[in-house]
Amino acid sequence: MFFTLLKKLLRSAVVLLIVLFATFALMFGNGEGIARGILGLGANEQDIQNKMQQLGLDRPLLVQFWDWLTGVVTGDLGKSYFTGETVSSALQNRLPVTLSLVIPTVIIAVVISVFLGVAAAYYGGWLDRTVQTATGIGAAIPGFIVGVALVFAFAVAIPLFPATGYVPFTTSPAGWVASITLPVITLLIGSIAGLAAQVRGAVIDTQSRDFVRTLRARGVSEAAIVFRHVLRTASGPAITAVGLIVIGLLGGVVFAEQIFALPGIGQLLNLSAQSGDVEMVMGCVLVMTLILLIVNFAVDTANVLLNPKARIS
Amino acid sequence: MSATDTELPATAPAPRKKSRSMLGRLLRNPLGAICLAFLLLVMVCGVFAGLITSIDPNFSELLAVNARPFSPGHLLGADASGRDTFARLLYGTRATMTACAIVLVVSLVLGVTAGLVAGYYRGRVEAVMDFIADVIMSLPGIVMLIALYAVTGPNMNLAMTIFGVIIAPTYFRLVRAVVVSVRSELYVDAAKVVGLSDARILSRHILWAVRGPVTIHSAGILAAGIAIQAGVSFIGLGDPTVPSWGTVLGDAFANIYRNPTGVIWPALLISLSILALVLLGNALRDAMQAGGSTPRMSNKQKRRLAATADRAGIKEPVSTPAAPAAAAGRDDVILSIRGLRMGYPNPDGEVREVLHGIDLDVHRGEVHGLVGESGSGKSQIAFAILGILPREAVILGGSISLSHEDLLADQAAQRRARGRRIAYIPQEPMSNLDPSFTIGAQLIYGLRAVRKMTKREAHAHLIPLLERVGIRDAERVMKLYPHEISGGMAQRVLICGAVATDPEIIVADEPTTALDVTVQAEVLELLRELTRERGLALVLVTHNLGVVADLCETVSVMREGRVVELGDVHGLFENPQEDYTKNLLASSKRVEMLEY
């Protein structure tokens, strides 16, 4: 069991490394362009060469990548070309904001999706059709439209929540809740739509399995069959779906942080990308992929714990 | 598996008369027609934007700053710089259309080609492509898209090309799955034999098969393209000089406190276009796969269906062979089925009857064989007795009485009897154990569901019983998971679970079919011993007349949802009355002769 997990972790680490290198190559492939971007249009050729040398952009790409990678281990991710702020401190300041959105969204989405998916699969009929239609629409409508609609309705038309800004939990728990409510709902719509449909499908699949019929024939109560047996087997595909939802969620976070002016990693990524601050962009990509790595590992662990068959192989 | 598919021709959609055009069928669906009309309107407005409005989308009219919607000259108002919202949205449609076209072409070309090649050649090519697709799909696509802006700058066409690459694996998976299933079809083989080249087979025959799923999927891809293009320009990564739906929304949103209604128009346009595409995709699926799956109905709908079927009247007098004279005088009937009729809804909402009025009596301690070919309805009777019919099943009439309690009419009685007085032995031993629980856990849980016992009492009760059904080292087996034991062992576990609650009657659905021949004999022997020891009645569903001769006292022969002959086993084997029984006996003898 331990080795199964270790193997999976190693595999995702390799994928992570490939992704990071590919991004790095794209970001730093054109060192001259970066130097030109920093110095502006007025710079002459000599200035650009000096700047490249100063920043180490004239070295081979693999050397630069290795340098960056060792920096990741020691916590030195370089400095913003424009503000001079170190990347690691910028990420540290902004990570709590992003996690304040991602973690509550995942928890609430899982609870609501399981509830909706099981109810739709179990009762069928109009409830099932309603859930199917709602998840279909919810999955189609982009998150930023939902965000704009929420601001329009609950911050402008009926000012219940602040439209922008972040209040740290340590400053004011109530303020924190108020500041993340609308962004979290924005992220929830798409997440629930995706996840509930998966849970529904997994439960329907499991319900038609032979052992469920045998359990029923044994006189096991319906509630016990659904909550003890069906949900346990359906949890495999559902947990895998959670992993996929989080991938989408990281994209959604960029939009949500932009709409609600939350100083998180997503907003940093967007601002850095617009200014061409590649060191900062690399740092954001690193954090996002690390979050994914952790989530994937959690997904694998949960699968192994819940499904005895996954422990071997 | 394929055998069962061919056995149920009635559930497969009847080959409909192929309508000449897809479009025709699509247009007959009102929702599909509306969506298509809306999208066409949007596109036409985009293409002919210059004819519809004379206002330059980038022209700032100072007097019109934040103009209200429906104000003169500005149908949808104007933004903070006095630019006309209607004109900007009209011209913005072009940006959306370009973006969608790029996303569609890039993802279609990459994904479909890769899917065709991987599905057709399989092997290493497929493995490599699959790995690439996996890596791309495990990326946070939007994050990468935004990160790349740092090097590409405002270049929407390049961004959409990248998004096309990111989304291409969805086509790849879809197409590969279709190709893998089509590849083995006869007409592809025929094409190979005729000597057509691989490229020709791929482009002609297989591409033809994937066009349906790909068309449906493309509607979703276009919707995603609209969303991404609008989203990226909404957060400021678009070209500010080119009007687009996303930039209009972004500008209006930045100005939401001064001009709140400004966000409504772009948001509506984006949402409606996406919704129209998604719904169009659904309509396309309906049009292409007409009469697909059976509807999942609620209990209320089923009752309504059953009622209408009843009102339609019993179609024909129920034909029942006279019960054997010997049985008529006995009053130790434990299970009595009268006039049982049930069926399944077909996609048209009508009920297809599969049991046409079954009468059956089972006596205390009797082993009653229920024989018939596949699809004759014998398993349906077994499930009906236990109240474990699939949820689509509709009971149309009749009764199933266990000691004078009607289990069909009284749900509570059904629940009280199930597992306690009537037990069940299934066909496939492995799939009938929950893979997530140990043998011990599920046996103990099942026992405690119907008998008041502590876990320890249940454990103590089960150990000797497991040994009785032939499991050595019962304590160890209790701790194993289903995938760790053999099929024969699993069947013994299931038999143990069935008899553990001390039932009066056991329904066994082909209990030996899935087992090895040597194990079959042992399990049959075990069943014989257990019924004798415990005075159990056994309803044995089987298609194997050898098993019937070996074990049963009474036999009911079933055909097409009816009991055609009923009698004690010796009489039936020596002197069958019905032609069908004679045929059945003769053919099984032939099979036996072939087997030896």
- B344–chain A Cβ distance below 8 A for any pair: no
What mean pLDDT is predicted for residues B525-548?
Answer: 87
Q: CB–CB of A254 and B142 under 8 A? A: yes
Confidence label for B350 from pLDDT (cuts 50, 70 and 90) = confident
Distance from CA of B47 to the nearest CA of A (A): 25
What mean pLDDT is predicted for residues B403-409?
Answer: 84
What mean pLDDT is predicted for residues A168-195?
Answer: 93
Choice between B513 and B307, residue whose per-residue pLDDT is larger: B513
- Distance separating alpha carbons of residues A144 and B267, to the nearest angstrom: 9
Specify which of A183-187, B116-120, B206-210, B379-383 reaches the highest per-range mean pLDDT. A183-187
Confidence label for B171 from pLDDT (cuts 50, 70 and 90) = very high
pLDDT higher than threshold 60 for residue A293: yes
Q: CB–CB of B140 and A289 under 8 A? A: yes
Q: CB–CB of B296 and A128 under 8 A? A: yes
pLDDT higher than threshold 90 for residue A280: yes
- Which residues constitute the domain of residue A20? 2-73
Which of residues 425 through 454 in chain B touch A, CB cutoff 8 A? 426, 428, 431-437, 445-446, 449-450
Do A64 and A181 fall within a single domain? no
Do A34 and A182 fall within a single domain? no
pTM for the structure as a whole:
0.83
The per-residue pLDDT for range B478-492, each reduced to its tens digit, is: 999 998 998 889 999
Report how far apart, in Å, the C-alpha atoms of B47 and of each of B35, B38, B92 are. Answer: 18, 14, 10
Residues 6+ apart with CB under 8 A from A245: A106, A109, A191, A194, A195
Choice between B392 and B20, residue whose per-residue pLDDT is larger: B392
Q: How far apart are the first and last CA of chain A?
A: 9
pLDDT higher than threshold 70 for residue B186: no
Do A188 and A63 fall within a single domain? no
Q: What mean pLDDT is reported for chain A?
A: 89
The per-residue pLDDT for range A30-88, each reduced to its tens digit, is: 888 888 888 877 788 888 888 888 888 888 889 999 999 999 888 888 888 888 899 99
Per-residue confidence (pLDDT) for residue B316, from 0 to 100: 43
Choice between A256 and B140, residue whose per-residue pLDDT is larger: A256
Q: What mean pLDDT is reported for chain B?
A: 82
The per-residue pLDDT for range A202-219, each reduced to its tens digit, is: 999 998 889 999 998 888
In this structure, is residue A78 part of a structural domain? no
In this structure, is residue A82 part of a structural domain? no
pLDDT higher than threshold 70 for residue B73: yes
Confidence label for B183 from pLDDT (cuts 50, 70 and 90) = confident
- Distance separating alpha carbons of residues A221 and B144, to the nearest angstrom: 49
Per-residue confidence (pLDDT) for residue B289, from 0 to 100: 67
pLDDT higher than threshold 80 for residue B539: yes
Contact criterion met (CB below 8 Å) for B104 and B222: yes
Do A94 and A68 fall within a single domain? no
Residues 6+ apart with CB under 8 A from A263: A93, A94, A97, A166, A257
Per-residue confidence (pLDDT) for residue B310, from 0 to 100: 55
Do A114 and A202 fall within a single domain? yes
Do A53 and A121 fall within a single domain? no
Bridge partners of residue B352, in order along the sequence? B344
Chain B contacts of A281, Cβ < 8 Å? Answer: 147, 150
Report how far apart, in Å, the C-alpha atoms of A15 and of each of A18, A77, A84, A269 are. Answer: 5, 20, 31, 21
Contact criterion met (CB below 8 Å) for B407 and B413: yes
Identify from A32, A81, A145 which residue to disrupt to test chain B contact, counting B C-beta atoms within 10 A and taking the largest count: A145
Chain B contacts of A27, Cβ < 8 Å? Answer: 147, 150-151
pLDDT exceeding 70 applies to what percent of chain A? 99
pLDDT higher than threshold 50 for residue A5: yes
Find, in chain B, the residue whose alpha carbon is nearest to that of A257: B235
Confidence label for B296 from pLDDT (cuts 50, 70 and 90) = low
Specify which of B193-202, B216-225, B404-413 reaches the highest per-range mean pLDDT. B216-225
| A15: nearest CB among B135, B153, B267 | B135
pLDDT higher than threshold 50 for residue B423: yes
Q: CB–CB of A308 and B386 under 8 A? A: no
- A208–chain B Cβ distance below 8 A for any pair: yes
Of A13, A44, A73, the position where a domain reaches its end is: A73
Chain B contacts of A146, Cβ < 8 Å? Answer: none
- The amino acid present at A312, given as its one-letter code, is I
- B385–chain A Cβ distance below 8 A for any pair: no
Which of residues 201 through 230 in chain B touch A, CB cutoff 8 A? 223, 227, 230
* ipTM here: 0.89
Find, in chain A, the residue whose alpha carbon is nearest to that of B231: A144
The per-residue pLDDT for range B94-130, each reduced to its tens digit, is: 999 999 999 999 999 999 999 988 988 888 999 999 9
Looking at the structure of chain A, the number of domains it has is: 2
- A303–chain B Cβ distance below 8 A for any pair: no
Do A109 and A171 fall within a single domain? yes
- Distance separating alpha carbons of residues B133 and A118, to the nearest angstrom: 31
Per-residue confidence (pLDDT) for residue A105, from 0 to 100: 96
In this structure, is residue A79 part of a structural domain? no
Q: CB–CB of A210 and B426 under 8 A? A: yes
Per-residue confidence (pLDDT) for residue B6, from 0 to 100: 35
The per-residue pLDDT for range B553-580, each reduced to its tens digit, is: 898 988 888 888 888 888 877 777 777 7
Do A68 and A110 fall within a single domain? no
Per-residue confidence (pLDDT) for residue A148, from 0 to 100: 94
Angle between helices A87-123 and A173-207 (to 10 degrees): 40
- Distance separating alpha carbons of residues B561 and B563, to the nearest angstrom: 7
Find the DSSP H helices in B184-311.
186-194, 198-200, 207-234, 245-254, 264-288, 299-311
Residues 6+ apart with CB under 8 A from A169: A100, A176
| B446: nearest CB among A26, A220, A254 | A220
Choice between B351 and B437, residue whose per-residue pLDDT is larger: B437
- A17–chain B Cβ distance below 8 A for any pair: no
CATH of the domain at A206: 1.10.3720.10
- The amino acid present at B307, given as its one-letter code, is A
The per-residue pLDDT for range B14-39, each reduced to its tens digit, is: 344 444 566 777 777 888 899 999 99
| B298: nearest CB among A125, A151, A213 | A125
Report how far apart, in Å, the C-alpha atoms of B28 and of each of B24, B53, B143 are. Answer: 6, 33, 41
Do A115 and A32 fall within a single domain? no
- Distance separating alpha carbons of residues B281 and B216, to the nearest angstrom: 5
Per-residue confidence (pLDDT) for residue B17, from 0 to 100: 44
Per-residue confidence (pLDDT) for residue B307, from 0 to 100: 66
In this structure, is residue A45 part of a structural domain? yes
Do A58 and A114 fall within a single domain? no
In this structure, is residue A80 part of a structural domain? no
Query: CA angle, corner B519, sides to B518 and B523, nearest 5?
Result: 130
In this structure, is residue A154 part of a structural domain? yes
Do A68 and A109 fall within a single domain? no
Query: Counting beta carbons within 10 angstroms of the beta carbon of residue B132, is it exposed (0 to 12), middle (13 to 18) or buried (19 or more)?
Result: middle
Residues 6+ apart with CB under 8 A from A214: B424, B426, B432, B433, B494
In this structure, is residue A20 part of a structural domain? yes
Residues 6+ apart with CB under 8 A from B452: none
- Distance separating alpha carbons of residues A64 and A57, to the nearest angstrom: 8
pLDDT higher than threshold 60 for residue B292: no
Of A73, A96, A126, the position where a domain reaches its end is: A73
pLDDT higher than threshold 50 for residue A284: yes
Interface A-B, measured as beta-carbon pairs within 8 A, has a size of 214
Chain B contacts of A302, Cβ < 8 Å? Answer: none
- Distance separating alpha carbons of residues A206 and A199, to the nearest angstrom: 10
Do A152 and A118 fall within a single domain? yes
In this structure, is residue A81 part of a structural domain? no
Per-residue confidence (pLDDT) for residue B21, from 0 to 100: 67
Of A14, A44, A73, the position where a domain reaches its end is: A73
- Collapsing DSSP states into helix, strand and coil, what is residue B399? strand
